[in-house]
């Protein structure tokens, strides 16, 4: 009897832990968030969706532009990896397997799946125009992945959908894999990692972190302002990261406020590579 009681207590404790989630810290901003889904669950679900998207997509036949996307992406990835490693946060991206693709589409869009799978649509390039601005977009997308915004949105959906019944649901399902089951259920209900509608706060945070990531990789963060002005005046089909939140004016104002911080990283790279004295 005692043994059963002890077993039930341990079981309840582990379920409570799973249901309450784990607290994780976002690099750069230091914001703490509680995630109900693990990296492994997110990766397995998003990799499946990524495979399906790539099967339906046609890769760009423009070799110069394709090479540019891969070059800028790799340079950003290296800078981000180095930064996280130097700050004891290498674990944040230990499951990442970077991929950089340019696909045929007139949409001015780009996304980064959890785990560092980045897709850029050809229709974005007339707006980026140069590698600095492309780095701003890729930095933003990489920031969503590094800050685990997908896991945050999925956790939010699980809480909204299952709320207080979460413990009951977990108890009724297989021991230990309950929250994972909920993640799969949410994913099956049309949760799209590629077209995820992030919160306004997530978008602002990705802008901020992305600006710093671009600067760390040696791309001029000041290009962000001109890029967003071009996007703002464009009449393209704008989705995902180009969604209406935050407004372009607010976005540009926030980027201007964050610019001195980004410029510190940019100047550090410039002087380290001897490019400051021209």
Position of minimal CB gap to Zn ion: 241
Q: How far is the CB of 137 from Zn ion (least distance, A)?
A: 9
* Residue 141 appears among annotated catalytic residues: yes
Nearer to Zn ion, 155 or 169 (CB): 155
Nearer to Zn ion, 191 or 241 (CB): 241
Q: How far is the CB of 240 from Zn ion (least distance, A)?
A: 7
**Residue 229 in tokens:** 């002005």
Nearer to Zn ion, 96 or 241 (CB): 241
HEC secondary structure over the chain: CHHHHHHHHHHHHHHHHHHHCEEEECCCCCCEEEECCCHHHHHHHHHHHHHHHHHHCCECCCHHHHHHHHHHHHHHHHHHHHHHHHCCCHHHHCCCCCEEEEECCCCCCEEEECCCEEEEEHHHHHHHCCHHHHHHHHHHHHHHHHCCHHHHHHHHHHHHHHHHHHHHHHHHCCCCCHHHHHHHHHHHCCCCCCCCCCCHHHHHHHHHHHHHHHHHCCCCCCHHHHHHHHHHHCCCCCCHHHCCCCCHHHHHHHHHHHHHHHHHHHHHHHHHCCCCCC
Q: Cβ neighbours of residue 49 under 8 Å, at least 6 residues apart?
A: 113, 187, 192, 193, 194
Nearer to Zn ion, 18 or 206 (CB): 206
Angle, vertex CA 158, rays to CA 193 and CA 42, nearest 5 = 40
Q: How far is the CB of 145 from Zn ion (least distance, A)?
A: 10
The residue ranges that bind Zn ion (CB under 5 A) are 203, 206, 241
Q: How far is the CB of 99 from Zn ion (least distance, A)?
A: 18
Q: How far is the CB of 202 from Zn ion (least distance, A)?
A: 7
Active-site option among 41, 92, 122, 141: 141
Q: How far is the CB of 241 from Zn ion (least distance, A)?
A: 3
Q: In what order do the strands lie in the sheet with 99-103?
A: 99-103, 117-121, 110-113
Q: Which residues does the annotation mark as catalytic?
A: 141
């Amino acid at each position: 009897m005692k043994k059963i009681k002890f077993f039930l207590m341990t079981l309840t404790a582990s379920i409570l832990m799973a249901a309450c989630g784990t607290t994780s810290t976002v690099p750069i901003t230091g914001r703490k968030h509680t995630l109900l889904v693990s990296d492994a669950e997110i990766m397995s679900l998003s990799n499946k969706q990524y495979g399906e998207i790539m099967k339906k997509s046609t890769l760009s036949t423009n070799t110069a532009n394709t090479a540019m996307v891969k070059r800028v992406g790799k340079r950003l990835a290296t800078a981000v990896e180095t930064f996280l490693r130097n700050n004891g946060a290498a674990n944040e991206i230990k499951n990442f397997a970077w991929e950089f693709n340019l696909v045929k589409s007139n949409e001015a869009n780009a996304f980064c799946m959890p785990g560092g799978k980045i897709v850029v649509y050809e229709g974005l390039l007339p707006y980026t125009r140069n590698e600095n601005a492309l780095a701003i977009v890729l930095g933003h997308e990489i920031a969503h992945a590094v800050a685990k915004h997908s896991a945050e949105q999925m956790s939010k959906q699980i809480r909204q959908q299952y709320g207080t019944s979460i413990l009951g649901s977990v108890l009724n399902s297989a021991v230990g894999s309950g929250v994972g089951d909920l993640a799969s259920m949410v994913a099956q209900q049309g949760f799209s990692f590629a077209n995820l509608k992030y919160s306004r706060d997530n978008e602002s945070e990705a802008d901020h972190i992305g600006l710093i990531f671009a600067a760390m990789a040696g791309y001029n963060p000041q290009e962000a302002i001109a890029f967003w002005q071009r996007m703002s005046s464009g009449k393209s089909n704008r989705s995902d990261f180009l969604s209406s939140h935050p407004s372009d004016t607010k976005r540009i104002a926030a980027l201007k406020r964050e610019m001195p911080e980004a410029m510190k990283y940019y100047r550090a790279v410039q002087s380290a590579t001897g490019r400051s004295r021209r």
